[in-house]
Structure 1
C-alpha cells in the first residue's frame, strides 16, 4: 500500500472520517508523500498526517504553552504528566515504556512557546501503545491525584535535621541549575528578555532556578488545566499508517477527554520593535567564559523564505573562519571564537551573533564591527560565489535530512514552526524546494544585500547583551539564600519540611501495585519482527581496499578513508589530532584558505577529518587501532569533486600561517570547554574508561580530557612553539597520508563508485611498502580517582572498571550485558539517582570493550551517587523481575539494535565493526544473545557490576563547591 496515492481520494477535503473533517490534501515532495490536514469536530483538535512509505512511524501531540513567568511551570509539567495517569496509575509509565517498548524515539520537549510529546516506532501495535499512554498522560495526568509529583519533578525543600542546612531538590530545578551554569544559555535567556520585553519570550520556559521555588502546586495544576486542552492542541501523524484505524483510535480518546474549565491559555503576543540599552549580566563563572550576544528580530514566522535566506546569508558571512564577517571579527582580536545562527520555531524569528571568550569591554566594539562590516558588504554586494556555496550547502543538508532522530519527529517540530501561529499553515517549514529554487533564481539580483540591510544595518529591533564573569559560585549564593529562608522558619515549619521530605521519599520508594502495572500495554516477544536485512558491503576493484554499501542515499555519495596511525609514536598522537583540526581551514598549494572554504562548501556537502580508535575483538582492552579518518560527501552530480578535493586538502595543506592556526585551535579549546559544561557525563565516563583500556586511553589523548590539557598547554606557549608545531605537522602529513594500510568505504548512487575511482586514480598517495616500522606503544592504563572543577552548579559523576575478575581477564562480552545495562539504567539508577537523588539523568553502559561504566547527568551531589553505584551489583545479583518485565527489557533492547539509521550512520557502523575485527555476523549474534537472555544470565553479571561500582576508577566533573563537599578522596584539579 502506497500512502502517496492510496488516500489521495479517500481523504478528500470536506469528507469526515471517524469524527475528523478533512480540511486539505496536497502532495509534498519534501516528504515523498502527501499532507492531510484535519479537524476533530467534537473538540476542535487539529491534526496533520504526513503520509509516505516510511515504516518508522511517528506521533506527536503539542500544546501552545507561552510562559507568563520564569518558574518553568511548563517544563515541570512536561516531566510531571509522564508520572502516571488515570488509566495508567503507575508512578512512571514513561520509564516503563523505555523499558519495554520498541520505540525509536520517546521523549518530550519544552520550547519557548509550546510543549511537544513525540514518539516513533517501526511496530504499529507499539506505536498505538505509546500513543495511548501519552494521550492519557497529557489529558488526564495523576498530578491532580498525587501532588508530590510536583515536588519530585519541580522542587521541594529538604532538611535532614533542625540543625542541618536547608536545601532544595527537584529534577527540573537541578536540570536548570546545570543549564544556567552555561554562560551561553544565560546569554540567550537574557537576549530574549531584552528583545521581547512584552511577550512570553522574555521568560525562561525551562525555568530559572531563582524563580522555580516561587511556583506553588495550585498554579502548577492551573497551568495544566488551561493549556492541556484539545482545542489548544496540534497532533501530527507520520509514515505508512492505516489512517482510518488511527483516526478512530484518536477519536475515541479525544471524545472521552475531560474539559477542565473554560479559561484558555496564556496569550502569545507579538513584540513591537525595541532597541534597549546594552545589558551586562553578572554570572559566577570563569573569566574566560565572558560572552557577548547581538540579536536582531528579522520578521515573523510567516516569512519562511526570508528565514531560509537569513540562514544562507549567515553561513556566507560567518560559516567559517574565512567567511568575510568572521574573518574581520577574528582579525579584530575581540575574543576566542564567534558564530551566528538563526533562531526560528518562534513567532518572531531572529538572528544572533555571538562572541565567545570575549575580552573585557568589547561588546560595543563588536556591535560597531558587525553593523559596519554588514553595511559595507551590503553596499558592495555580498559575494555571489559565497552565497551560491552556502545555498548549495543548505540544499545538501535539506536533501540529506539527517536530523539525528526519526524523520517523523523532526518534521513534527518543523510543522509547528508555522502551525502554532496559523491554523491554516502547517507546512511552511516542512517545505523548502520552492524557496531554494526562488533564492537560486534571485542570486545576483540584490535580494541578499537588501536582507542584510534590513536585518542588521537598519533594523530597529535589536539588543546587545554581555555575560560578565564574577567571583564566587552559584552554589554558595544559593546556600546563603536558603540560610536566610531557614532563619525565618519557626519550629513547626521546620518539622513540616522534614516530614514532607520523608513522606515524598517514602512515596518514591513505594513499589507500584502489580495490578496497576498490569494495566500498561505491552508487547510480547512474538511482536518482534524478523531482524532487518543486514547492511553488507562488497569489495570492488580499486587501488586500495574499498568496501561499497548498496544503500538508498537519495543520490548522495559518501566516502571514508581510514589511514593507519600505528606508525606514529605515542607522544605524536595529540599532534595528529591538531592536524585533523586544521585540515580544510588553511591555504593549500592550489588555493588560499578563503578560496578553499568556498570550493569545499559549493562542491561537498560534508568534509571532516578526525581520529577514531578501534579495539580488537580478541583483546578488547589491550589493543588500540587508531585511524585518521577523512570523510566527505557530495551530491551525485558532483562526484568528481568528491574524488579530488579531500586529497588536495590532506596532501597539499600548507602549515605556515601561525595566526590562523592559533585561532582554529583556540576555537577548538572553547568548544571542548562548552562540551564539559553541557555534556560532562560523556567526558567523565570516557576518562574513566581510559583507566582500563588502551583504546580508551588513545581516545583520551586525541579527543578527551587528556587532549584538552595538551591543547591548553600548547596554546599557553604558542608563540614559543609555533615554528616547531608547523614542522611537526608537515612531518605527520607526509607520514600519515600513505597508501600503506589504507582502506576506504563508499555508498552512493548506482554507478558512482566507478565514476569516483576513475576520477580519483590512486588518490595521489605514495606507498612505501610498510618500510616504516610500527612504533605506536600505548602505555599501560592506570586506574585513578579524579575530580575536575568547572564553572557549574551541578556535577557529572562517572565510575568505570573493566568488569574483571583478574587483570587481563575481561568478562566475555555477551548480549545479556545490553539487557543488564537497560535494567540498571531504567530500573535501579533511575530510581536511586534520578528520583531519589534529584539528578537529571543517570545510566550504566556495558560495551564490547568490556569497560563497564556508570554516569550521572546534572547531579546535585557526588557521594550519594557513588553510594548508589556501589549498591548496583547487589541489586542486579538479586534482580527478580516479573516475566513481563524481563520480556520488556529484551524487547526494548532488540528494538535499539533494529532501529533504522540513515545511510551515513549505517556504513560508519559497519566500518567500525570491520576494523575492530568483528565479522558481519556479529550484530546478529549479539541480537540472538539478547533474545536468549534470562534472569539467570543477567544476574550472573552482578558480581562484575559490583566490582565496577565498589572499586572502579572515578572521574567527577563539576562545580568546585560540590566536589569539595565530597568525602570520596578524589585528586582534584581545575579543568575549565
Structure 2
C-alpha cells in the first residue's frame, strides 16, 4: 500500500535511532507534499536529510563545504578527480562507466563557490544504490592518493607541442611549451565569458576578507601553481564526514538506505589532516570602483553594480529581493530597466539575485556599455531607486511580480533536471551555513502570503531603500575590452620558460607526458571492471505507457493532452509557416523576438507586461521545424506561441496571446524593437562563447539538411548577421521593418494556419475555447512560398572572443547507411563514452566531446572547450577504425543498451510529454515508433554495431567542418577553413533587401573570401 508522505512517519520520531543515525527533527513540507527528516550519523557527525515524498525519480547527493583559500581551482579539480577511480572500484573512469551503463536520470558533480556536490538520480532503486555506492567510495576513498597522473590529467601538466598543437619531440626546434588539463581548459572557456570576469571582479570587491573573493573553479593563470601535495591536503581536510551533507529524496525504503549509507560511513577513512577552510561572514564594505580589462569584442563592455541583501538566514528577505528584482528590472518595461534603456547608456540591463551563498546579493549589469558611463550608470540606478523607494514602485507591478514568483515556485519546472537534484541544491542554500536551517529554501507558501500583505504597507520600498539607497555593502566593476589577454601572457611566459630549460629538463617533460599517455591508454583490467556494480537487462521494466492525445473537435484543430498538471494549464499555438518565403524568414524570427514586449491597441507595453505577469505563468514565442519521419528532406515549419497559467486564469490563455498577434503596434514601437534586438544580439554572442558546440552543430546541420537550413535562417549565425546588419542601419530601416512585421504577422496568424495543443483537464480546455472566440486571427488565404534552397556543404570557422575551440565534423546521410536508429544510439554511446572520451577529453584535454547520428541520418562529432582543432579532427577520423574493431564484453554491451533504454524511458513532466507528442504528430511518426526504436536498442549486437563502421569511414573525407572559438586556435589549424570573425562590424548597407549577401560564406574556401555563389542567409531558430 502506498505510503502517505504528507503525514509524519511514526518510526522516524525525533530521537529514534536507525543504522547508526539519530533523527533530530521532523519538518512538514507542503511544498513537496511530504516531510523532511533531519538526522545525524552518531559516529562521524555526518548530516543527513531525507525529503520524503511520493516521487519515484529518486535521488541521492553528498556535499562538502569547500570554501577556497586561493584561485588554483583545487576543489574543482578534486570534483573531477575523485571520480577517476577509488579503492573498491579501481577503474580509471567509474563516472564514465556509470554514464555508459546506468539507468540514471541525473549523474554529475558540481563545484560551487563554497561547496562541492555529488548528486545522482534514478527511477530504479537498485540502480540508485549502485550510483550511491560508487560515489561514496569515490569521495571517501579516491585513487588520487596513489595515482598522481589523475591530478595531471584533470588539473594541469606541461607538454611540448608544435605550432599546430600536435605533440612535438624535445629536439624539435619549433617545439614550444604548452599547458594542458581538463579543468584548465574548462576554465579558459568559462573565463572567456565577460559575465564571469565581471562576476569575479564584483566578488573580489565585495568580499575582500572572504573565500568568495577567489575563483572557486580556478583561474587559468593560477591553476598551474597548484601542487599535488596541496591538492591532496585539501581533499584530506574537506572530504571528511563531519564536513558532509547527505540528501535523500523520494519514495524510499529509508531503513534499507540508511543501513546502506551507514555501512559506508562506518568504513570511511579518518585522515585527521586538520580543519577545513573557514567561511567567515564578510563585514559590510563599500568598495571603491574597479576597472578590469579583458581581451574581448568592444560590444562586450560592461558596468556592473552589486548590493548585498543580507545573509542566507534571511529567507523571506531573500525571496522579497527576488520579487523586487523582477519588479524593477525583470522586463524592458520594468521601471528601472526602462530608465536605463531610455538613457542610452548601453544595450541591455540584466538584473539577477545571486543566492546559494552565505551573503546573497543583487547584481545589476549594463551590457554593451558605452564608453565612460560607469559613474552615470551608478548615479542613474541609485537615483531611480531612491525615487521609487520614495514615491512607490506601484502596487500592480509588485503584485504581478509576486504572482509570477508564486507561479514559478508552484510549477517547480526544473526542465530536464530531476526535482530531487534541484531540491538537494536548494537545501544547501541554508543548511550549509546553519545546521538548524535545513529546508528554508524549499519553503515558500508562508513567506509569499506574508509578502502579499506587505505590498500595501510599503515593505518592498523599504527593502529597496535598505538594499540599494542606503547600502553599506556594495561594489562597482567596469569591464573594458582591450587587445591581447591571458593567452598572450601565458604564451610569452611559457616561451621564456622554454628558453630557460635544459635539454635534460625538456626530455623530462616529454617523459612525464609519455608516462601520462601510457596510463591513459592502458585498458582497465577485467578484474577491475568486474568490481563495478551493474544492472542487467532483467532490471529494465516495460516501456512507460504514454497517454493518448487525440485531436478533438474545436474551432481549430486541437491536440488534447489530458494530463495531471497540478492546477496549471499549458497551451501551444502552432502556426504553419508554409506561406512565408525563405528570404522572409528572418522577419518571422524578429516577430518572435518582439511580440509580447510592445504596445498593443489595448495596452501600453508596460501595462501588458504587468498584466501578463499577473495572469500568466509564461508567454513565449519561437520558430521551429519538424523533419518528416519518412523523408527527412521534407519538413514542416511553425511559429509557436506558448503560454501557461493557473487553472483559474485559463481564459487569459486565450485573450493575452491573441492580443499580441492581432493588435501589436510595430510602427509606434521602433525604439523598443531596437532595444529588444540589441539584447538578442548580445545573448547570441554569449551563446557563441559559452555553447559554441551547439551553435557549431546547428550550422553543420544546415550544410546538409533543409530543415536545419531553415533553423539557421531564424536563429543561427546568419540570423545573427542579419540582426547586426539591421541594427547598424536601424534609423534608415526601422519603418521598412515595421511594415514587414505587420505583413508577416497578417499571413502567419491566419485561421487556416493554426493547430492548438492544450495540456490540462477537459473542463479547462472547454473554458479555454469558450473564451477564445475567433482568437483575433486573420482570414489571409494559405499559400505555399517556403522553398528552401538546396543546402551546400562548407568548411567554416567562426572567430569568437574565446580562449578555446568547439570543433564539429559531420556528413550527410548515405543511401548505403547500415543499421537502424536504435543500433546507432548504442554505437553513439560507445563512441562518445569510450573512444572519444579517452582520445579527445582524457588525452586531448577538451572538457566535453561526443558523437550523434540524428534521425535525419546526419553523422556528427563535436567537442566542447577544446584546446586544439587539428588533433581533434584527426581523432574523429580514426573513429571508424575503432568502431570496426570494437569487441565489447557481454556486460559492456548490456550496459550501453541499458543506458540508452533508460534515456528513452526517462520520466517527463506533463509539459515535456505534450511537446514530445506534438512533435511526433508534426513529424508524422507512426504509432509505436518509440517502442520499435527501443526494441532495436534491446536487440543490438556487437556485429550490428561494428557493421556501422563503414558508414563512418567517409565522414572525415567527404564531410564538412565547423569550428567556433579562439582566433589563435583557428589560425593554427591546417584544415581548409573559410574563416569569419563574428565580432567584426558589418558594413553599412544601402536599401535593406532580402537579397543581401553578407550573411555568411558557404564556399568552404580557406582564404575567407566568398566566390559569390554561396548558399547564404541560412539563419537559424529555436528548436
- TM-score category by the smaller chain? over 0.9
User: 1:201 aligned to 2:202?
Assistant: no
Match of 2:276 among 242, 265, 270: 265
Q: 2:195 corresponds to which residue?
A: 184
| Aligned-residue offset at 1:539 | 2.4
Q: 1:388 corresponds to which residue?
A: 399
Q: 1:480 corresponds to which residue?
A: 492
Q: 1:161 corresponds to which residue?
A: 169
| Aligned-residue offset at 1:951 | 2.5
Q: 1:745 corresponds to which residue?
A: 757
C-alpha separation in 1, matches of 2:574 and 2:951: 35
User: 1:801 aligned to 2:807?
Assistant: no
C-alpha separation in 2, matches of 1:764 and 1:205: 53
Of 897-906 and 854-863, the range deviating more from structure 2: 897-906
Q: TM-score, normalised by structure 1?
A: 0.98
Listed as ranges, the gaps of 5+ residues in structure 2 are 161-167, 984-1023
C-alpha separation in 2, matches of 1:133 and 1:200: 30
C-alpha separation in 1, matches of 2:54 and 2:70: 43
Of 260-269 and 964-973, the range deviating more from structure 2: 260-269
User: 1:232 aligned to 2:243?
Assistant: yes
- The answer to whether the Cα contact below 8 Å between 1:873 and 1:949 also exists between their aligned partners in 2 is no
Matches within 5 A, 1:624-773: 624-656=635-667, 657-768=669-780, 771-773=781-783
Matches within 5 A, 1:38-117: 38-117=39-118
C-alpha separation in 2, matches of 1:101 and 1:208: 34
| Aligned-residue offset at 1:956 | 0.2
Instruction: Map Cα deviations across residues 71-93 of structure 1 (whole Å, 9 max, x no partner).
Output: 00000000000000000000000
Q: 2:974 corresponds to which residue?
A: 967
C-alpha separation in 1, matches of 2:23 and 2:956: 57
SS at match of 1:166: strand
C-alpha separation in 1, matches of 2:825 and 2:930: 12
| Aligned-residue offset at 1:851 | 1.5
| Aligned-residue offset at 1:949 | 3.5
Q: 1:442 corresponds to which residue?
A: 454
User: 1:175 aligned to 2:173?
Assistant: no
C-alpha separation in 1, matches of 2:10 and 2:913: 37
- The answer to whether the Cα contact below 8 Å between 2:578 and 2:783 also exists between their aligned partners in 1 is no
Matches within 5 A, 1:836-855: 836-855=843-862
| Aligned-residue offset at 1:920 | 3.4
Q: Say if 1:40 and 1:619 are closer, same or farther in 2 by CA, change over 3 A.
A: same
Q: 1:860 corresponds to which residue?
A: 867
Of 27-36 and 931-940, the range deviating more from structure 2: 931-940
C-alpha separation in 1, matches of 2:485 and 2:140: 41
C-alpha separation in 1, matches of 2:13 and 2:418: 28
SS at match of 2:753: coil
User: 1:900 aligned to 2:904?
Assistant: no
Q: 1:402 corresponds to which residue?
A: 413
C-alpha separation in 2, matches of 1:194 and 1:772: 59
- The answer to whether the Cα contact below 8 Å between 2:221 and 2:486 also exists between their aligned partners in 1 is no
Matches within 5 A, 1:116-127: 116-127=117-128
Instruction: Map Cα deviations across residues 284-334 of structure 1 (whole Å, 9 max, x no partner).
Output: 111111111100111000000000000100100001100000000001111
Q: Say if 1:957 and 1:535 are closer, same or farther in 2 by CA, change over 3 A.
A: farther
| Aligned-residue offset at 1:853 | 1.1
Matches within 5 A, 1:213-224: 213-224=224-235
Instruction: Map Cα deviations across residues 783-830 of structure 1 (whole Å, 9 max, x no partner).
Output: 000000001110000111123147xxx767521111111111101110
Match of 2:801 among 755, 766, 791: 791
| Aligned-residue offset at 1:186 | 0.5
Match of 2:928 among 907, 912, 921: 921
- The answer to whether the Cα contact below 8 Å between 1:301 and 1:418 also exists between their aligned partners in 2 is yes
Of 850-859 and 486-495, the range deviating more from structure 2: 486-495
C-alpha separation in 2, matches of 1:67 and 1:106: 24
Match of 1:564 among 572, 576, 583: 576
Q: Say if 1:709 and 1:10 are closer, same or farther in 2 by CA, change over 3 A.
A: same
Of 171-180 and 542-551, the range deviating more from structure 2: 542-551
C-alpha separation in 2, matches of 1:148 and 1:814: 38
Q: TM-score, normalised by structure 2?
A: 0.94
Q: Say if 1:515 and 1:455 are closer, same or farther in 2 by CA, change over 3 A.
A: same
Q: 2:896 corresponds to which residue?
A: 889
- Count residues with an aligned counterpart: 970
Q: 2:164 corresponds to which residue?
A: none
C-alpha separation in 2, matches of 1:392 and 1:919: 41
| Aligned-residue offset at 1:7 | 5.9
| Aligned-residue offset at 1:262 | 4.5
C-alpha separation in 2, matches of 1:63 and 1:616: 49
| Aligned-residue offset at 1:939 | 1.4
| Aligned-residue offset at 1:67 | 0.1
SS at match of 1:355: strand
SS at match of 2:441: coil
C-alpha separation in 2, matches of 1:475 and 1:300: 37
- The answer to whether the Cα contact below 8 Å between 2:155 and 2:183 also exists between their aligned partners in 1 is yes
Instruction: Map Cα deviations across residues 420-445 of structure 1 (whole Å, 9 max, x no partner).
Output: 00111110001111111110121110
| Aligned-residue offset at 1:873 | 1.4
Hey, which bits of structure 1, 4+ residues long, moved more than 6 A?
Answer: none
- The answer to whether the Cα contact below 8 Å between 1:3 and 1:51 also exists between their aligned partners in 2 is no
Q: 1:779 corresponds to which residue?
A: 789
Matches within 5 A, 1:309-388: 309-388=320-399
Q: 2:1016 corresponds to which residue?
A: none
- The answer to whether the Cα contact below 8 Å between 2:6 and 2:30 also exists between their aligned partners in 1 is no
C-alpha separation in 2, matches of 1:733 and 1:848: 32
Listed as ranges, the gaps of 5+ residues in structure 1 are none
Q: 1:10 corresponds to which residue?
A: 11
- The answer to whether the Cα contact below 8 Å between 1:813 and 1:850 also exists between their aligned partners in 2 is no
Of 488-497 and 339-348, the range deviating more from structure 2: 488-497
Q: 1:31 corresponds to which residue?
A: 32
| Aligned-residue offset at 1:493 | 2.1
C-alpha separation in 2, matches of 1:805 and 1:917: 21
